[in-house]
Amino acid sequence: MDYNFFAKFNIDPLSFDRSGLQWQDLEKIGEDYQSHYTTLLDTANLIASDLFSCPSIHSVNYRIKDRDHLMEKIIRKSLSSRETRFSENNYRSLITDLIGVRVLHLYRDDWTQIHSFLKDKWTFAEQPIAYIRQGDPDRLSRYYKELECEVREHPHGYRSVHYVLCKDTHQLLCPVEIQTRTLFEEAWGEIDHSVRYPYYADNEVLGRLSGILNRLAADADDLGTYMRFLKERTIAQEEEHQRELQEKNRVIDFLRSQINALSIDSRDKQLLDKELGSLRNAPKKEQTPLADLPWLDSLVESNIFKHISGKVEGFLRKSKEDPIPVSMDDLDIMKNAQKGLMDLLKNPEQLKRIIGEPFTSQEEQKEQEEDGHH
């Protein structure tokens, strides 16, 4: 036996004896694994390249478990489960994280698209596990369950979703573990791990500070997701406002072209003016409510959101209340049309015929006039 190995991983040699493993068998597993290392590395690189085809993924990194850590893990698994017997023929099926891939995304709601991408492209060896933090909203747990994930509360506050790709998918040499999390979650996890593990995991002060950093990272995630939602909603509202302006101007142009040829008394003119006024002053649509994103539940209840949300909504309302511009030419046309409209009452049949005509745009009228000349 290699006692340096036992010292390196703090393994009691007597415990190894109780595991049922033979050191020579463990060495054979290590040698076999080392012979496949290059193939595993190529497989990890191929999977990472495939993942980059998903637009919601920000970055991908991966690692291949080294030989000594594999042997250490087999020892600990053998101690925890005497029924599992490892050999050089089955370890690549029993150890699911020989290849570990970390998928990072910028916004929390990007996970939905990533989950669909993984589900469509690969077969899972087991049900995905969504790790949540204590205090996360119940609706988030229900959302994960609806998408066929097992939900577990992580004792150290880690948030991520873990997948194990089936070994038979694309003829993989072994199962592949994929973890998805946001950039903020990754940053907190890296800091927490580098500061507290392995020797300061029980340090109360570091644990409390790590919990505060975890909360700040979660708030940053929620606020970033809300910022994107707010941007997308603002763009949609601006586009809708422009469509309304274009439609109103189109109808006004049509009416303008029609009334130039009409005469009508003051009573009928007032009726038309009223209709045009209602068109210009049509009530604006209500703003789109907050997106139905389960990740934003915690943010909506936070003091920071309550402080800024009113100001944000007020700004958006103000931007929607800008008046529709009316040029001086529009006013002159309406004034000049008044005289011609006065004569329309003398010929009600002409009025009836004009009003009953189907809508024709200026472009179509121009084409019809050109056809008439030909």
- Strands of the sheet containing 160-165, edge to edge, are 59-64, 99-105, 176-182, 160-165, 129-132, 150-153
The rounded distance, in Å, linking the Cα atoms of 190 and 200 is 14
Does the pLDDT at position 55 exceed 90?
yes
Query: Which residues in 20-87 belong to E strands, given as ranges?
Result: 59-64
* The predicted structure's pLDDT at residue 191: 93
Percent of the chain with pLDDT over 90: 38
* Tokens standing for residue 144: 């994960």
Map out the domains of the chain as residue ranges.
3-202, 225-373
pLDDT for 357 equals 47
State how far the Cα of 318 lies from the Cα of 322, in Å rounded to an integer.
7
Residue 269 has pLDDT above 90, yes or no: no
Mean pLDDT is lowest, of 42-46, 152-156, 166-170, 271-275, for 271-275
* CATH fold for the domain made of 3-202: Beta Polymerase; domain 2 (3.30.460)
Average pLDDT over residues 244-268: 68
Provide the percentage of residues in the chain whose pLDDT is more than 70.
Answer: 66
End-to-end CA distance of the chain: 103
Tell me the average pLDDT of the chain.
79
Beta bridge partners of 95: none
Query: Range with the lowest mean pLDDT among 42-56, 95-109, 349-363?
Result: 349-363
Determine the Cα–Cα distance for residues 91 and 110; give it in Å rounded to an integer: 34
- 64-90 pLDDT, tens digit per residue, is 999 999 999 999 898 888 778 899 999
For residue 361, the model assigns a pLDDT of 45
Q: What is the DSSP string of 208-236?
A: HHHHHHHHHHHHHHHHHHHHHHHHHHHHH
> Which residues are CB-neighbours of 283 under 8 A, at least 6 positions away?
none
CA 305 to chain CA centroid, nearest Å: 20
Closest of 152, 151, 156, 159 to residue 193, by C-alpha: 156
Check whether 7 has a pLDDT greater than 90: no
